[in-house]
């Protein structure tokens, strides 16, 4: 239980309770001074390694024997970010780098009174996992098997973090399983696939020209506005070739990965923003479908399930392309 103030910090005389701005505070009549109880800043770190969260087991009260994020009080004279990284190293032996502030939460503790929890997402950049400080153990837990946590702000912050990553993890899972989901070349050559591949090849020039007009004027692709027409043509031509090879079952995930990782390197080296590169890629998909529907290429005598299958294949391809284009851009 947190101890209550009974004496003045300055003169040592007994304090009384007195209202200031409708708040009942400790007051020293001798010094004519109020004492203010402000929340203490507490820092926590979320370190995620392949969907495993680093937790520590407490070896002292409060909540001895329970698990929590690497957590501790900020010290006077240090920044809140430095406090987070210091606590991480002291409790787990891991050196980290701040990625972002994720959550701020108020919490009332019987031991310490009002606390303000600030939770940061961090990345490991050194050190070796080893429990230290007031921790009995430090280990990574799978996000779907987390133990009960000592501090409610830790749970709320982790819930927010996991929720924010679900879409990313779902896309990553679809990419990881693409080899299993994508039939072999012999199987993928159904009539609908052949029809779309032939359609793209037959109308490639028109699709490229429509895309060039769009990408050269679209506000989301500003870096492309000054690119020479021949260069724009080659960009779209290369990607259309990749799409037809994918739909025809002649390109596997590794080839798509290699192509778009390299493309990400090229775009960054050329000074393109990642947002512009992704928008240009998205516009290619737009013009394939727009042109196909305008030409009635997908509407005659097609069974519904075949249309869905085609949409699935296109979605997988562009998810792969977007992911590895971004990865190549980031890793350059």
Element (H, E) at 329: helix 304-331
For each of the domains in the chain, give its residue range(s) and CATH number, in order of start: 1-37 (2.20.70), 40-170 (3.90.79.10), 178-331 (1.10.490.70)
* pLDDT at residue 185 is higher than 90: no
Contacts of 150 (CB under 8 A, 6+ apart): 58, 62, 63, 66, 67, 68
Provide the percentage of residues in the chain whose pLDDT is more than 90.
Answer: 37
Q: Are 81 and 87 in contact (CB under 8 A)?
A: no
CA-closest candidate to residue 193, choices 209, 208, 204, 182? 182
Tell me, what's the pLDDT at 149? 97
Given pLDDT bands bounded at 50, 70 and 90, which one contains residue 268?
A: confident
Tell me, what's the pLDDT at 41? 95
The larger pLDDT score, comparing residue 95 to residue 14, is at 95
* pLDDT at residue 254 is higher than 80: no
CA distances from 3 to 9, 11, 64, 206 (A): 14, 19, 20, 78
3-state DSSP call for residue 132? coil
Q: What is the pLDDT of residues 207-244, one digit of tens each?
A: 999 999 999 998 888 889 999 999 999 989 988 888 88
Given pLDDT bands bounded at 50, 70 and 90, which one contains residue 112?
A: confident
* pLDDT at residue 95 is higher than 90: yes
HEC sequence for 170-223: HHHHHHHCHHHHCCCHHHHCCHHHHHHHHHHHHCHHHHHHHHHHHHCCCHHHHH
**Over residues 54-69, mean pLDDT:** 94
The larger pLDDT score, comparing residue 317 to residue 171, is at 317
Given pLDDT bands bounded at 50, 70 and 90, which one contains residue 168?
A: low
Q: What is the pLDDT of residues 272-324, one digit of tens each?
A: 888 888 888 888 888 887 776 666 545 544 444 455 556 666 777 777 788 77
Q: Are 80 and 43 in contact (CB under 8 A)?
A: yes
Tell me, what's the pLDDT at 186? 42
Q: Are 280 and 264 in contact (CB under 8 A)?
A: no
**Over residues 138-158, mean pLDDT:** 96
* pLDDT at residue 148 is higher than 80: yes
CA-closest candidate to residue 94, choices 86, 103, 106? 86
Given pLDDT bands bounded at 50, 70 and 90, which one contains residue 202?
A: confident
Tell me, what's the pLDDT at 302? 46
Separation of alpha carbons 172 and 277, rounded Å: 20
Q: Of the given ranges (52-66, 123-137, 257-271, 313-327), which has the lowest mean pLDDT?
A: 313-327
Tell me, what's the pLDDT at 250? 65
Q: Are 224 and 289 in contact (CB under 8 A)?
A: no
The values of phi and psi at residue 74, to 5°, are -75, 140
CA-closest candidate to residue 122, choices 54, 182, 209? 54
For residue 230, the cross-strand partners are none
The values of phi and psi at residue 40, to 5°, are -85, 135
**Over residues 108-123, mean pLDDT:** 91
Q: The whole model's pTM is what?
A: 0.52
CA-closest candidate to residue 85, choices 107, 38, 118? 118
The larger pLDDT score, comparing residue 146 to residue 62, is at 146
Mean pLDDT of the chain: 83
């Amino acid at each position: 239980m947190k101890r209550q103030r009974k004496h003045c910090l300055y003169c040592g005389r007994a304090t009384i309770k007195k209202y200031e701005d409708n708040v009942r505070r400790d007051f020293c009549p001798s010094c004519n001074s109020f004492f203010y109880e402000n929340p203490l800043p507490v820092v926590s770190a979320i370190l995620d390694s392949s969907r495993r969260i680093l937790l520590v087991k407490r070896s002292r009260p409060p909540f001895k024997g329970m698990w929590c994020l690497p957590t501790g009080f900020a010290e006077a004279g240090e920044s809140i970010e430095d406090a987070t990284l210091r606590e991480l190293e002291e409790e787990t032996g891991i050196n980290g780098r701040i990625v972002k502030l994720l959550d701020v939460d108020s919490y009332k503790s019987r031991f310490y009174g009002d606390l303000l929890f600030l939770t940061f997402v961090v990345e490991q950049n050194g050190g070796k996992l080893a429990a230290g400080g007031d921790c009995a153990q430090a280990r990574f837990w799978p996000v779907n098997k987390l133990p009960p946590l000592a501090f409610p702000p830790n749970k709320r912050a982790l819930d927010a973090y996991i929720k924010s990553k679900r879409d990313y993890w779902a896309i990553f899972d679809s990419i990881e399983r693409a080899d299993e989901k994508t039939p072999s070349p012999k199987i993928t050559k159904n009539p609908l696939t052949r029809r779309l591949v032939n359609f793209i090849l037959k109308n490639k020039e028109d699709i490229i020209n429509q895309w060039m007009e769009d990408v050269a004027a679209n506000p989301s692709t500003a870096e492309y506005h000054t690119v020479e027409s021949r260069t724009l043509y080659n960009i779209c031509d290369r990607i259309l070739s990749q799409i037809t090879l994918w739909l025809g079952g002649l390109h596997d995930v590794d080839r798509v990965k290699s192509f778009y990782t390299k493309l990400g390197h090229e775009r960054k080296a050329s000074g393109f923003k990642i947002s512009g590169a992704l928008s240009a890629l998205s516009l290619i998909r737009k013009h394939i479908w727009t042109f196909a529907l305008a030409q009635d290429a997908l509407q005659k005598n097609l069974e519904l399930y075949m249309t869905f299958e085609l949409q699935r294949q296109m979605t997988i391809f562009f998810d792969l392309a977007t992911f590895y284009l971004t990865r190549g851009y980031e890793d350059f």
